[in-house]
Structure 1
C-alpha cells in the first residue's frame, strides 16, 4: 500500500460553486447562445460574434455547423448535429407539442397550425420505434407524461425539445394564487386556489408520502416550505403534512416565514406581507410524478432529453414498481430536475430508475427529498435472481441532498448488479447546511453502493468531484472488482455530527477493490463534533482493498488518514 501525504494548506483556492440553481434557467445546457461576447473564439462552446452556430461558421475554421458537436437551435437543429438543414435526427415521425397548438392538429410541425397542445393528448397516442415527441422550449405543462410505447435498441422513442429558449417544463404542481389575509390572525394568508393536500396516502396506512411547498423568491432562488415537528418517523422525517386545525387552535404552529399548512382544499402560509407581492410564486405539488412509464413491465428503449421536471410529490421520473423483471434501454440526458417531495422523505426522488443498458448524462438534479438518483431494487416478492447491468452515469451535476445527494444503488435480493460506471460527475452540498436540523435538513451521502446480499461487481468510479457531502462521500458495501480512481473528495460538512465519518467507507468482503490516484482534502476544525477519516474500513474489508498513489491533504493533524478495525493512521 502506497500513500502520498501533504500537510496543511491555504484553502483560498477552495472556493465553492454552491450557488442555488434557478429552476427557470437553462443552467446546465452547454449549447449556450451568447452574441454579446466581443470576440469569436471558435473553441469556447458559445455562439458569438459572426458564428453561424456554436464555434462554427463565420470566421471560424469549422465551416460545417452540422459537424460541430453541438445542438444549434437557431439553425433548426433538434439535437446534436441533426435537424434543420442537417441530417434527420429521428428515423420515424416527429410530433410537436406547444402551448399555442391544438389537439385537433396533426402534430407534424411546430407551428400553431400543426402542433398538439396538451400532454393528455400525447398520452393517448401510440408511437413507433424512431418516433419523437418534441415540446416547445419556453413552454410549460402542468400534467404528467406517461410513456406507453417502446422503441428498439436501434431506434429509441425520444421525448425532447425544439426551438430556442429555456427547456420545456413539465411541472407536478399547481400554483397557489389570490391571497387573502385570515381574519383575526397575524401574518396568516389563505390562497383562494383550490388545491388537494400535497401528499400521497396509500390505503388506510398511517404512513403517507408528504410533500413540501416551494416559495419562489424575487431574486430567482427557491425556499422550501417548513415542515413542522409532527408525524415524524424514526429518522426525524415527517410522514404527513400539517393540517391547520389538527393541533389545538387553528394555525397555532404558523409563527415564522415559510411555515404553511393545508385545510379543506386551501393552502395557508405565514408571511409578513401578501405572498403575491413578497414571492414570485408559491408551488404546491399535486401529482406523484412529472414523467412515468405507463405500465408494468415498464416500456423499453426510449430517451428523455432536454426537459425540466419540477415540484412533484414523489418523482421527477419514475420507472415504476415492482422491480421483478429485466427491462432495457433508457437514456435520460441534459435535463434539469428538482424540488421533489419533502426533505428526508421515504420516497422523493429525482430519478427512480432500474433499467439496464442505460445512460444518464449531462443532467442537473437537486433538492430531491430522499435521493437525487435512486437505482434501488426492493419491495417485491419473487423467486428468481435477476441481472441489472450496463449503466453509465456521466457528466451530471447533483447537489443539495437530504439522504443521497448523488447516486443510491441498492438491492434487497440476491440479484447481480454489474458494469456500473460513474464518470465525471460533480456532487456537492452546501457547507452551511445543518444536517441535524430535523425535519428541515438531513445528512446525505454522495455515492452509496449497498451490495448487501446481492452481487455487485465491475464498478468504476472515475474522475468525479464530491464536495462538502453531509455524511459519507463514497460508500462501498460488499462490492467486487471496483475501481475508485482519479476522484477529488473535498472535505465534508462541518455540522454533520456523529462520532466518525469517512470520505470513503468500505464494508463487507470486497475483492479487488482499488483506490488509486485520488485527491483527499479535509479541513475540519478542531471544534468539529466528529472524527473524519479519509478512508475507513470496517471489519476485515481492508484485506480485499489496495490503496495506491493517493494524495491526502489535511489541515488538522488530529483527523485521520486511514482507519481499519486494527489501527488508524494520521499525519
Structure 2
C-alpha cells in the first residue's frame, strides 16, 4: 500500500507584481500617487455605502472598495474595519507591517453579521503578502468564481493566504466557507470542471487558511469557523516556531482538516475537525456535498515537525478513500510529538497513521475508529510509537489491527471490541510489545502480552458518548472495575488523566481514567445524572400510577435478540422497564426495581424482536414510596450494538419521548462546585497572592457602550478580584476584592464605558493570603441584560477562549 508521506506535494507558485499607479494631470503637470499615506494608530472604516474619495477615518466618512484599501499604506497600530452586514467581491491585499504590540488589524465595526469578503475566484480573498504583525479578526471569507461553490469551476484558490516573509500573524474569530480551490483529483478525466491533473497541479497546497513562502514564526490561528470548502481547513508550510492552532471548528471539507509542516514545538489544541474528505475521488458531484480529493486525507496532520503537542481535540467522521482516513497523522520526519487528551470517533481509516517511532500517544479515547470492517487494518498504521492509557473501543464488529507496526509499545490501554474475526484481535504477534493492557467485549484476544487483564472493564456507560471532548464520561471506570490498580507505572506521564485527575492514586489504572483512591467512582457529572447533565425524573406520589414515559422506536431489526436497560438512582421508589410491540402487547419487562442512592443498571431479559420492525418502550411507576428517582442513559438494541433509542440520555430534553405522570425530563442541580453545567474555573491559592490569573481577550466590543464584568464565586476564604483592561492592559474597571464563602456569590465590577475599544481583556486576579480552593463560574461581559461577549463563559468547553496564568485551572469538579 503506498505510504501517504510519499505523495508528491509541491508548493504552488504565486507571482505578485505590485505597481504604483500614477495619475498625470494634463492641466497642471502634477503627479499624484494612488496610494494613501497612513498615520500610525489610525482606524480606517470601509462600507459598501462609502466613497473612496472620503478620508476613511470615521464611520461617517468610510471608504468603499477593496482596491482603495489594497492601494493604501498602513502603519503600526492601524485598524481597517469593515462594516458588519456589508459584502465585497475581489481581493484584499495587506502588504504593510505593524509592530510588536501594535499590529495592522483587519476587523469589523457596527453590529450585525460579519462583513463578507468574497474572493470572486481570485487566488485568495485576503492576501497578506510579505507583511508581519498583522491580525485578521472577525470577518467572513468566501472564494469561488461561479454561481455557487458546487458549480464545477475550480481554480488555484485560498480563503486567507499568508505569503512571503510574514511573521507574527494572528488569524482569529473569522468564518471561512465556500472556498472552491483545486480538489485533489488523482488523474485527468474527472467529470468535474477543469479535469485537473494532480501530478501537474498539486491540489493539496490550498487552504481556507494557508501560509506559505519563506520560513516565518509566531502564528496564532484560533476560534475560526471553517466549513463547506473543497480545500484544506488550515494549512501552514513554513511556520518554524511559535505556531498555535487553537479552538477552531473545521467541518465538511474536501481535503485535510488541519495540516502543518516544518514546525518546531507547535501547539494544536481544542479544535473540532469533522466530516473531512467528504466525497470520494473523481466521482460525480453529489447534491449538498462539498469537496473532492484524491486518495488520502486525515483529520489533523503534522509533517516534518519537531516536539509537537496535539491535545484536547475532537476529530470525527474522516473519510477513507484509498489510503489514510485516520484522525491523527504524523508523517515522514516528524519527531518527539505528544498526542494527549483527544477524543476521536467514527474515522473510517482508524485511529492513527505515522512514520517515526518516538511519538507518545496517551490518555486518548477512540470510539469506533476504523468503523468499516474493510478498513479495520488501519487502526494503527505504520505508527511505531508509545501508546499508553488510551481507550480503544469498538462495538461494531470491526476490531483492531496494527498494520506495518514493527516497533513501539502498548501499556495500560483498554481494547474493547465485539469482533469475532481473530485476525483483528491478535495483538502481540510480532512488532510492538504489549504489557498491562485490558481486553474487553466478546473478542477472543490472542497474544495479549504480559500482565494482561481480560474481562468487562466496567465502564460507566459507553453508549452515552457524544460529540465533544467533554462527552465521554461514560468511559470512566465504575467501582470494582478489574482495570483499577492493574496498570504499570510510567515516568513522565503528563501528570493527569483524560479528566484532569492527578496520577497516580495508588497503583496505576488501565485506561484513560485514574480512579479516586479506594476505587469509588462518582457519577460523571452531578449526583442526579448518570451521564451528561439531563435525566428523566420519576416523582412518585406514594400511589402507583401504572404508567410512565415512553418512546416508539422504528428501525428495529426483525428476528434479533434485543435488550432494554437504563440506569436508576433514587430513594426507595419502585418501577419497571417494559417493551411492547407496536400494538402494545408486552414482549419483555424487567423485575420491579427499588431505587437506591447508588446508580444501578436495571434491565429486561433478552428478548426476540420476532417480526417487529417497530417497538414501544416505557418506564412505569409501580411504587408506593413517595419521593424522587432519576433514570438516565437508556439502551435498546443488540447487547453491545447500536442504541436504537432517540435521545437515550435525555440530553435533548423530551425529544423522542412522550411524557406521562409522574415522569418529567429535568436538568438536576449542578454539583456544589459548579454554579451551572459541569465545569468551573478553579483558583487554588497557595497562601501567597500571585497578582495574576486566567484571562480572555473578547472582541467585537461595542464602542461607547456601558458594560459590566461579573462572575459567580464560591470557596473557603480565598481572595481575588475581577479586572477589565483595554487592549494595552490599562485598567478600565475592577471589582472590590472578594473573600470567597461557601455560598455562591456574584462578584461584579462597576459599570464602565467601553470608550473607543473594540477589544478588551478581562481577568480573574488572585489576591489571597488564605490557602485553599475557590471555584468561579458563569462569567459575563457585556451590556447588563444583553449578549454575553465572552467565549465559553461557563467553562463547559475547557480552556477554550481562556489563557491560564497564576493558580487557575479549568476543571470538572
TM-score, length-scaled by structure 2:
0.38
Q: Give CA-to-partner distance per residue, 1:368-404, whole Å, 9 cap, x none.
A: 3231211125xxxxxxxxx711100010001112221
What is the aligned partner in structure 2 of residue 366 from structure 1? Answer: 227
Match of 2:141 among 269, 294, 309: 309
**Residues 552, 561 of structure 1: alpha-carbon distance in 2 compared, 3 angstrom cutoff:** farther
Match of 1:467 among 316, 323, 327: 316
What is the aligned partner in structure 1 of residue 351 from structure 2? Answer: 503
What is the aligned partner in structure 1 of residue 50 from structure 2? Answer: 101
What is the aligned partner in structure 1 of residue 243 from structure 2? Answer: 391
What is the aligned partner in structure 1 of residue 177 from structure 2? Answer: 338
- What is the CA–CA distance in structure 2 between the aligned matches of 1:434 and 1:169, rounded to whole Å? 27
Q: Give CA-to-partner distance per residue, 1:77-123, whole Å, 9 cap, x none.
A: xxxxxxxxxxxxx9811111111111111112112xx1111111111
- What is the CA–CA distance in structure 2 between the aligned matches of 1:99 and 1:558, rounded to whole Å? 55
CA contact (8 A) 1:479 1:510 kept: no
SS at match of 1:366: strand
SS at match of 2:306: strand
Match of 1:521 among 367, 377, 384: 367
Please report how far the alpha carbon of residue 532 of structure 1 lies from its aligned counterpart in structure 2 after TM superposition: 4.6
- What is the CA–CA distance in structure 2 between the aligned matches of 1:103 and 1:434, rounded to whole Å? 44
- What is the CA–CA distance in structure 2 between the aligned matches of 1:368 and 1:558, rounded to whole Å? 31
Q: Is 1:489 paired with 2:321?
A: no
Match of 1:549 among 386, 389, 398: 389
CA contact (8 A) 2:254 2:276 kept: no
Please report how far the alpha carbon of residue 426 of structure 1 lies from its aligned counterpart in structure 2 after TM superposition: 0.2
Match of 1:480 among 328, 335, 347: 335
Matches within 5 A, 1:132-281: 132-173=79-120
Aligned residue-pair number: 326
Please report how far the alpha carbon of residue 531 of structure 1 lies from its aligned counterpart in structure 2 after TM superposition: 2.1
Matches within 5 A, 1:402-421: 402-404=254-256, 406-410=257-261, 417-421=263-267
Larger Rg: 2
CA contact (8 A) 1:474 1:505 kept: yes
- What is the CA–CA distance in structure 1 between the aligned matches of 2:231 and 2:276, rounded to whole Å? 16
User: What 5-or-longer segments of structure 2 have no aligned partner?
Assistant: 1-38, 145-154, 186-202, 286-291, 320-324, 408-425, 428-442, 446-813
Larger relative contact order (C-alpha < 8 A, sep ≥ 6)? 1
What is the aligned partner in structure 1 of residue 125 from structure 2? Answer: 290
What is the aligned partner in structure 2 of residue 450 from structure 1? Answer: 303
Match of 1:376 among 233, 237, 249: 237
SS at match of 1:529: helix
**Residues 132, 434 of structure 1: alpha-carbon distance in 2 compared, 3 angstrom cutoff:** closer
Higher strand share: 1
CA contact (8 A) 2:254 2:279 kept: no
Q: Is 1:127 paired with 2:112?
A: no
- What is the CA–CA distance in structure 2 between the aligned matches of 1:459 and 1:439, rounded to whole Å? 38
**Residues 99, 558 of structure 1: alpha-carbon distance in 2 compared, 3 angstrom cutoff:** closer
TM-score, length-scaled by structure 1:
0.53
**Residues 396, 525 of structure 1: alpha-carbon distance in 2 compared, 3 angstrom cutoff:** closer
What is the aligned partner in structure 2 of residue 246 from structure 1? Answer: none
User: What 5-or-longer segments of structure 1 have no aligned partner?
Assistant: 1-89, 174-285, 378-386, 412-416, 494-500
**Residues 130, 531 of structure 1: alpha-carbon distance in 2 compared, 3 angstrom cutoff:** same
